[in-house]
Structure 1
Amino acid sequence: MTTLAVTPVRVLHAEWHKLWTLRSTWFNLALIPVLTLGTGIAIGSAYESGDATELDTVLLVLLGMQFSQIIVGVLGILSTAEEHSTGLIRSTMAAVPARLPVLWSKAAILGTVGFLTALATNLVTFPLVQTFLTGTDKEASLGDPGVLRALVGNAAGLALIAVLAVGIGALIRSVPTSVGVLIGVVMILPEVLRMLPYDIVDDAVRYFPGKALETLTHADPAPGMTSPGSALLALFLWTAAVLTAAAFFLKRRDV
């Protein structure tokens, strides 16, 4: 009987197959365009000039990303933590003794799927919602300065949050706890810290994952905001740090 060698391509293929056999994958990915488009249409159809002058046009249209970042995060967590909860991880690691190729494959797949899903959603949502915003102070087109960059930046940010969640799930190994940590770090903690009367804390909060994603979704960042490049770098560093920690403990802990 011939035994096939474990290669990165075969591990990637196995993780790809595993992802798409889960009903939760299809359900979560379907929610991204449904909620993003639905929220955008609801806001656009009710919007009148002056209602939200402080909001960037792209951010206004893509306010549904508040749901999307949770959805891609949950999907990333399920790809790792759920395997530990069910015990399937033992079979996976028995097939791939090196362990780390499994983590890298999950991260690569979730990042790619998250980016492509979010980008396709953004490119459909923005022009469609703009049909409701024609004649308002939020009217814009894909060719306007910064718009396309913001749409792509939003997709890249959501992809990084998906990979960040893969790392959190691999570290904590519990789906409920991992989801709680993700929501706390991405959405709740920055708002709590901003209440502190210290400029240095306020400056640091801008580089938290959720705030970095918000910056990436601006076609025209407001004065005092960090640049899109800095926001993308901050989000990348958060993701790299968590994924590195997950890799470290994956090699040293029992499955």
Structure 2
Amino acid sequence: MTTPETPQQPQAQPPQQPPAPQQAPAVPQAPAPQAPAPQPVAVATAPQPPHGAPPPGMTPMAPAPAVPAPPSAWQQAMNNAYTSPIPIKKTNLGHALTSEWTKIKSVRSTMWTLGVFLLLVIGIGLLAVAQTDDADYVDVPFTIPAFFGLILGQICLITLGVLVTSSEYGTGMIRTTFTASPQRSRVLAAKALVFFVLAFVVSAGSIFFVGLVASGAHSGPGVGEVSWMDTVFKGGLYVSLLGVLALAVGSMLRHSAGAITTMLGLVLVPAIMPAFLGIWSSTEKLGEKMEEYNAISSLAEIFKIDSSLDGGGGGQLLLLVVVTAGALAGAFALLEKRDV
């Protein structure tokens, strides 16, 4: 049995759109006439007042106060800087003296030089006291035994005076000293004062001790009639001034060996040269003056070894004061002029 075939349906077609109407060709139009631009008309204006002047009819006003500018960054940083809890004081000579005393008592050179000085003056003095008799002190003071020790002991004070200044230049510590105390003259003055007081106390004390021992060991008729307390002061003053002179020379030369050699020449050469200068008549007067004013002869006159001399060493002390003052003046001038 055959199945009847199903008739095929025709596919739906989309509706067709009507054709677009044709546009007419564009006809060019003539440009529209433009109106003429308006011409500027001058308008009369009233004269303006000068710049900064108030308008007419108004009273001038007072200028407004200037507003301070805000602080800059570095000013704020300075205001917020660290404040030390330690009270800040203005430095003076007393601080420099304290500093120099701390330095001079804490170095080994002070202990060695002063120790050898005391050993020479007191040791040789006591040996002389033990070897002398009562009659030996009839025309001389009791401090005469200390004279023999001072001849060698003065070299110790000269060495210490040089080292007080020149040692800091050798180690470079003088830069630290001048950084802490920029006033250089104050530093040098403090060094000279501290050294002079220390040298005078040690030297005068040793001379007094020897004289005290001699006065206790020797007695008798006519013994001790010559005053000896002035020799304690003058002898200590003379060797202390020699040390200050060495300090000034050390400050000027800034070299320990050179300054010590120079000072030894100033002390020893005038004591030797008169023997050579006396050969010629033209230099005989110079030799006599050098023999009178050299360091050893000056100490001998201070200690009244020659009873015929009544000067007491006043002229020798005055000459040494003048020479030391001149050397210190030169040291101060060079210290301010030269670099460290």
Q: TM-score, normalised by structure 1?
A: 0.86
Matched, 1:196 2:282: no
Instruction: Out of 196-205 and 146-155, give the one that drifted further.
Output: 196-205
Q: Distance in 2 between the 1:233 and 1:113 partners?
A: 21
Following TM superposition, by how much is the alpha carbon of 1:227 offset from its aligned partner in structure 2, in angstroms? 4.4
Following TM superposition, by how much is the alpha carbon of 1:3 offset from its aligned partner in structure 2, in angstroms? 4.8
Matched, 1:59 2:144: yes
What residue number does 2:102 align with? 17
Q: Distance in 1 between the 2:205 and 2:149 partners?
A: 14
What residue number does 2:267 align with? 186
Instruction: Out of 56-65 and 243-252, give the one that drifted further.
Output: 56-65
What residue number does 1:152 align with? 233
Following TM superposition, by how much is the alpha carbon of 1:130 offset from its aligned partner in structure 2, in angstroms? 4.4
Going from structure 1 to structure 2, the CA distance change for 1:81 and 1:148 (only over 3 Å counts) comes to same
Q: Distance in 1 between the 2:91 and 2:230 partners?
A: 39
Partner residue of 2:186 out of 95, 98, 101: 101
What do the CA deviations read for 1:77-127 (whole angstroms, capped 9, x no partner)? 110011111111111112222211111111111111111111111111112
Q: How many residues align?
A: 250
Following TM superposition, by how much is the alpha carbon of 1:51 offset from its aligned partner in structure 2, in angstroms? 8.8
Q: Distance in 2 between the 1:157 and 1:140 partners?
A: 26
Q: Distance in 2 between the 1:175 and 1:91 partners?
A: 19
Structure 2 unaligned residues grouped into runs of 5+:
1-83, 279-283
Residue pair 1:209, 1:238 contacting (<8 A) in 2 also = no
Q: Distance in 2 between the 1:238 and 1:212 partners?
A: 14
Partner residue of 1:85 out of 170, 174, 178: 170
What do the CA deviations read for 1:102-161 (whole angstroms, capped 9, x no partner)? 11111111111111111111111112134555569xx843xx333111121101111111
Q: Which residue identity is paired with 2:301?
A: T
Q: Distance in 2 between the 1:170 and 1:66 partners?
A: 25
Q: TM-score, normalised by structure 2?
A: 0.66
Query: Which secondary structure does the structure 1 equivalent of 2:200 belong to?
Result: helix
Going from structure 1 to structure 2, the CA distance change for 1:126 and 1:227 (only over 3 Å counts) comes to closer
Q: Which residue identity is paired with 2:162?
A: I
What residue number does 2:293 align with? 207
Going from structure 1 to structure 2, the CA distance change for 1:210 and 1:46 (only over 3 Å counts) comes to closer
Q: Which has the larger radius of gyration?
A: 2
Matched, 1:172 2:263: no
- Structure ranking higher in helix proportion: 1
Matched, 1:119 2:204: yes
Residue identity over aligned pairs, in percent, reads 23
Q: Distance in 1 between the 2:273 and 2:133 partners?
A: 31
Partner residue of 1:237 out of 307, 322, 325: 322
Residue pair 1:100, 1:251 contacting (<8 A) in 2 also = yes
Going from structure 1 to structure 2, the CA distance change for 1:60 and 1:100 (only over 3 Å counts) comes to same
Taking only aligned residues, the RMSD between alpha carbons, in angstroms, comes to 2.8
Instruction: Out of 13-22 and 60-69, give the one that drifted further.
Output: 60-69
Going from structure 1 to structure 2, the CA distance change for 1:13 and 1:187 (only over 3 Å counts) comes to same
Structure 1 unaligned residues grouped into runs of 5+:
none
Q: Which residue identity is paired with 2:271?
A: P
